């Protein structure tokens, strides 16, 4: 059995992610212990809440996450967990992220569109990658966020449009550090398939 | 494109083992139509975008059963789940989220103590906190100069008064002003129910739905009064709502969620099908 760790850094609703992973045949551990993180075959960074708070909570284990990412083993950030993978965010005050993937986190500009972006929106798959294996282009997934990731096309696995095109899923150059802005654990069968794909990569 | 959400609402009474969905099912076999987890699964398969459970018992014993219902639902249904009904403490929210729910809706407790919205939003994030607003039309505008006056369908001027305790108590609070405040305090969404329409099958209360949808920057979920797919269409096209909540038309199997979505798509409302 592959060892999947859901990173517990004091934020976010870990339960949904855990149930989603269990549904696709994994039995993940919830842990913030550096030893357990480094021993994992797959690491998940969940997260809801504010960027600044998340980075504060991540500070003690930042080095561990960086070491894990360098190992080449798969890791997946979800929602705010994707945003913290990036270089910086303008949420609150300009704050450095983990910088595992180059790019910025920006607020949706003022427009007639409501912020947060809440609900089911379709994604355009931009690259062949095992995370999106078997996922049809234009699939609907569930989003809830006020900030979005702006990164280069080579770091974008899938995009979504809400007033502007943004990165709905990101990847580093090595291909092992991934993120989704949407919640796969809340995106029905499509989301579960994406979680299954992640487990298969581990 | 962001789609409009269709949200079945299950009113759950927890006085019997396992819980039971009650609203609109008086005339059908309670046992068959009544298991909340089974109904949740069915709606998920039919293409519901989210689910709402309203605990209409809200007793201490009921709360425990609700946790069990949430856990069993979250084991099998992987779409957003909102829980409402009598939620009045941070601890209650924590338990509900831990059981597998994604959002809570707060109503009476927020009217009585608006800081509860801020406190819970600061702890759990705005995306978790739905403020449910129950309101009632009030045509006494002479004695209420400070209220937001809207025009009803027949041209009558009226304001909308917030009611609490399931509609049993009027508060004198203007619904538009309260909604704006709830947004400022950190609500992620507003669940708007007009007591004039709830249970009537006469359609959503469009004047107040439209006003809040245009006025606020957060999504508005229209609720109360749906009798057919056209009502849902009007909630989106005229009421400008972001999501539509309905109960009895789905429980009775008058329309499936898929049928409603097909109806909407033919009329160019974006839906997830």
Per the CB < 8 A criterion, the answer to whether B129 and B102 are in contact is no
Q: CB of B122 within 8 Å of any CB in chain A? A: no
Report cis status (omega within 30 of 0) of the bond before A116.
yes
For residue A92, name the pLDDT band (cuts at 50, 70, 90): confident
pLDDT 10s digits, A26-79 = 999 999 999 999 999 999 999 777 788 889 989 999 999 999 999 999 999 999
Report, as an integer, the average pLDDT of B43-57. 91
> What backbone phi and psi angles, to 5 degrees, belong to B12?
-115, 125
Q: Where are the domains of chain B?
A: 5-266
Q: CB of B80 within 8 Å of any CB in chain A? A: yes
Q: CB of A120 within 8 Å of any CB in chain B? A: yes
The CATH code of domain A4-201 reads 3.40.50.880
Contact: B189, A13; criterion CB under 8 Å? no
Residues of B (28-57) whose Cβ lies below 8 Å from A: 44, 49
Is A117 part of the annotated catalytic residue set? no
Is B11 part of the annotated catalytic residue set? yes
Cα dihedral A77→A80→A82→A84 (10° resolution): -100
- Looking at every residue in chain B, the average pLDDT score rounds to 89
Residues of B (187-216) whose Cβ lies below 8 Å from A: 188-189, 216
Q: For residue B201, what pLDDT is reported?
A: 85
Q: Is B36's pLDDT higher than 70?
A: yes
Q: CB of B16 within 8 Å of any CB in chain A? A: no
Residues of A (171-200) whose Cβ lies below 8 Å from B: 185-189, 191-192
Pairing of strands B150-151, B157-164: antiparallel
Q: Which residues from A are below 8 Å from B219, CB to CB?
A: 114, 116, 118-119
ipTM: 0.90
Q: CB of A139 within 8 Å of any CB in chain B? A: no
Q: CB of B60 within 8 Å of any CB in chain A? A: no
Cα-to-chain-centroid distance, residue A48:
11
Q: Looking at domain B5-266, which of 3.65.10.10, 3.20.20.70, 3.40.190.10, 3.30.2130.10 is its CATH number?
A: 3.20.20.70
Q: Which residue of B has its CA nearest to A163?
A: B1
Q: CB of A20 within 8 Å of any CB in chain B? A: yes
Contact: B242, A13; criterion CB under 8 Å? no
Q: Which residue of B has its CA nearest to A80?
A: B125
Q: Which residues from A are below 8 Å from B128, CB to CB?
A: 13, 48
Which of the residues A57, A79, A91, A117 is marked catalytic?
A79
**B60–chain A nearest CA distance, Å:** 23
Please tell me which of the candidates B1, B124, B188 has its beta carbon nearest to residue A121. B1
C-alpha distances in angstroms, B254 versus A65, A113, B36, B248, B258? 52, 33, 18, 8, 12
For residue B31, name the pLDDT band (cuts at 50, 70, 90): very low
First to last CA, chain A: 10
SS3 state at B191: strand
The residue ranking higher by pLDDT, B203 or B123, is B203
Q: CB of B253 within 8 Å of any CB in chain A? A: no
Q: Is B45's pLDDT higher than 70?
A: yes
The residue ranking higher by pLDDT, A168 or B31, is A168
Which of the residues B134, B196, B205, B242 is marked catalytic?
B134
Q: Which residue of B has its CA nearest to A114?
A: B217
pLDDT 10s digits, B165-201 = 888 899 999 999 999 999 999 999 999 999 988 878 8
C-alpha distances in angstroms, A3 versus A25, A63, A67, A197, B35? 12, 20, 17, 15, 36
């Amino acid at each position: 059995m592959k060892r999947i760790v859901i990173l517990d850094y004091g934020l976010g609703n870990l339960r949904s992610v855990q149930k989603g992973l269990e549904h696709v045949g994994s039995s993940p551990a919830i842990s913030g212990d550096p030893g357990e993180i480094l021993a994992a075959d797959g690491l998940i960074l969940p997260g809801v809440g504010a960027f600044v708070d998340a980075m504060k909570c991540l500070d003690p284990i930042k080095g561990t996450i960086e070491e894990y990412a360098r190992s080449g083993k798969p890791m997946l950030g979800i929602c705010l967990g994707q945003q913290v993978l990036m270089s910086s965010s303008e949420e609150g005050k300009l704050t450095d992220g983990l910088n595992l993937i180059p790019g910025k986190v920006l607020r949706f500009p003022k427009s007639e569109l409501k912020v947060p972006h809440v609900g089911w929106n379709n994604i355009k798959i931009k690259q062949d990658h095992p995370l999106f294996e078997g996922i049809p282009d234009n699939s609907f997934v569930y989003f809830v966020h006020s900030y979005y990731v702006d990164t280069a096309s080579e770091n974008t696995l899938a995009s979504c449009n809400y007033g502007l095109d943004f990165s709905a899923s990101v990847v580093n150059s090595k291909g092992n550090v991934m993120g989704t802005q949407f919640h796969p654990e809340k995106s029905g069968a499509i989301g579960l398939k994406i979680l299954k794909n992640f487990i298969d990569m581990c | 494109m962001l789609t409009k959400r269709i949200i079945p609402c299950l009113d759950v009474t927890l006085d019997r083992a396992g819980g039971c969905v009650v609203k609109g099912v008086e005339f059908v076999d309670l046992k068959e139509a009544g298991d909340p987890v089974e109904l949740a699964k069915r709606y998920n398969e039919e293409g519901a975008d989210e689910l709402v459970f309203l605990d209409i018992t809200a007793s201490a014993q009921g709360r425990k059963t609700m946790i069990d219902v949430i856990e069993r639902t979250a084991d099998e249904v992987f779409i957003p789940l909102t829980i409402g009904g009598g939620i009045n403490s941070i601890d209650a929210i924590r338990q509900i989220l831990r059981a597998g729910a994604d959002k809570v809706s707060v109503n009476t407790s927020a009217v009585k103590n608006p800081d509860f919205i801020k406190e819970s939003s600061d702890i759990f994030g705005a995306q978790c906190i739905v403020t449910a607003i129950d309101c009632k039309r009030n045509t006494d505008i002479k004695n209420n100069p400070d209220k937001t006056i809207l025009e009803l369908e027949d041209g009558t001027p009226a304001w909308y008064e917030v009611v609490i305790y399931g509609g049993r108590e009027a508060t004198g609070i203007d619904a538009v002003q309260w909604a704006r405040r709830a947004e400022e305090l950190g609500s992620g969404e507003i669940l708007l129910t007009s007591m004039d329409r709830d249970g009537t099958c006469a359609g959503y209360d469009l004047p107040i739905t439209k006003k809040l949808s245009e006025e606020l920057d957060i999504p508005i979920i229209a609720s109360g009064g749906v009798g057919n797919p056209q009502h849902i269409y009007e909630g989106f096209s005229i009421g400008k709502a972001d999501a539509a909540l309905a109960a009895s038309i789905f429980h009775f199997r008058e329309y499936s969620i898929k049928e409603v979505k097909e109806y909407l798509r033919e009329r160019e409302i974006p839906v997830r099908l």
